[in-house]
Chain A
Amino acid sequence: MSPAELRETRRSARNGWLLSTPALILLFCAAAGPLLIVVIYSFLAPGKYGNVEWQFSTAGWVGILWTKDIFDETWHLADAHLAIFWRSVSLSLLTTLFTFLVGFPTAWFIATRPANHRAFWLFLITIPFWTNLLIRTYAINEVLRKEGLVNTVLIKLHVLSEPLDMLYGPFAIFVGMTYVYLPLMVLPLFASIDRFDMKLLEAGHDLYASRWQLLRRVILPIVKPGIIAGSILVFVPSLGAYVTPRVLGGGKQMMIGNFIELQFGQGRNWPLGAALSMTLLIVVTVALLVYVRYAGRDGDARHG
């Protein structure tokens, strides 16, 4: 490269950095940087009245899985914690699976609409996606509660004589998470299906495949990146969910998010809370790396 070209390249890179600096500073101060403090806190000892004692301790990390008996000081597995982890993981997986089962036909439906109608259907999916999570969760509360829509309708139809108690439990959390995260499944699936060449189906039919065989042998393998993207996009926020289990779980049915909050509130075990946060972050990062590896190219399409 000539000196002039070199100057030009350097100038371009320098401007790129300079222009990005304010955003980077802000993000470092109020988003990424504080995570480092959480790492430090996870290795400190809990303070008596919350906060921490500034001395090294692995109690926070150990406390994720084990508890010390108050009486005989022996360590044993913390069943309550395991129950919370299991609830978080199983509900998140269930949510992911169910959003896929109903989200795939929905995405397919949108993608096969005439081009001029497609934007409208997509808009219908996108609106709930951007509206307040708390409001949507509360709306589910309205539907599921004892005097809510579902019970009212079922009683009117004489399917039920007594209202079902659906709220404040794993079922309500599952319904709520499915409801609030469904658009995150539909949008990347749509992006994938939209690129799918429908001529392939004609070719498949021509080669004697049934619709079911086409779905299994042609469609699903081709739209796989969208499926992976959608699954990760649903699984990650489900795992870290806080509002939905709080509003629909009724305080007793905690997920990891609520459990973390508890440590900073009544639990007064900040190091444990910090270690739990880091654990959650690590799991999510691994999931996102899988996403980048298998579906990175679909990433930009995820907001429709």
Chain B
Amino acid sequence: MWKWLHPYANPEVTYHFTGKILPWFVALTVITLSTGLVWALLFAPADYQQGDSFRIFYIHVPAASLSMGIYVGMAVAAFCSLIWQLKLADASAAAMAPVGAVFTAIALLTGSAWGKPMWGTWWIWDARLTSELILLFLYLGVIALHNAFEDKNLAGRAASILTLVGVINIPIIKYSVEWWNTLHQGSTVSKLGKPSMTIDMLWPFIFCFLGFALLVTTIICIRFRTEILARNSIRPWVRNLVILENK
């Protein structure tokens, strides 16, 4: 069943394949993200209570859900790396970690900037905010472990174990607003049945979310390619690439 995947365990094949799909991701990102942001920030109607401050929602929510999404992706890579000892899985996890950390930081900062005028405080130690902060520390730990060892295989194994242990935090973040009472509101978009938003507010959100998701994919794709080159720099195929570039 998985036979078609086998050639991609070869770094050279994957490097050329990602090179081919990268321009498509870039194009799609530019289209959806610019449409989404312009629509959301300039044309979507203002909220009845919060006015224009609510527009931070269009950045905060995609950043927060992607921070969890990237972590799950990283955990899948870590799992493959531990069981099948795929070197490329390590490379992809190393490529994802900093992107995830940045998106977690964006979610925390935009949330804080919204919280001050709306709630009346920058920060409160409720379950949602605290667990998201723990996610940031998990990302920083994974990044640190990837860079802590000279031997990349050893580094990859240590980081993978931390990643898998940290996965427990993901359902805690997601359901924190339902399991405990918190200052943070429940989810607006991702709940069963009707989203708690009117349709002219929801469409720009869908574009923003897709746009940010594609942006993440693009950045990770680029980082993954550089990571492959860095880890295979002594291989003949990488040397040949350099020679071809310089001709």
Answer whether A and B are interacting partners: no
